[in-house]
Amino acid sequence: MTPREAEAAVLTKAAQRLQIVRDDWANQTAELVPALNFNQKLWTILATASTEQDSPLPPEMKQSMVNLATFVFRRSIETMAEPAPEKLTAIININLNLAAGLSGR
């Protein structure tokens, strides 16, 4: 598995965990914080790696990753503070779209 494929797989896994919580909200709310924490750790790694000095990404892409990470972190905190299933949709979509891009889909 290439690094890009690994990143795509982990993004997909994080999205799936969040989607399970969102789609079965009444029975899965205990999994909300663990799923959000997993996603935040992932985004911390992605944001850090993409902004490293030796990152091959162009400056615009680095800034886009920072912007996405900032949005994901804010939405995660908002969701922990005031839980609602619809707040997970944007995070799920971002993860799946980024995973698709990394996979060449």
Plot region of 69 (φ>0 → left; ψ -120 to 50 → alpha; else → beta): alpha
- Tens of pLDDT, residue by residue over 70-83, are 999 999 999 999 99
Of 91, 77, 98, the C-alpha closest to 19 is 91
pLDDT value of residue 105: 67
pLDDT value of residue 104: 82
The pTM of this model reads: 0.93
pLDDT value of residue 5: 92
| Structural domains in the chain plus CATH codes | 3-103 (1.20.120)
- Tens of pLDDT, residue by residue over 16-59, are 999 999 999 999 989 999 999 999 999 999 999 888 888 888 88
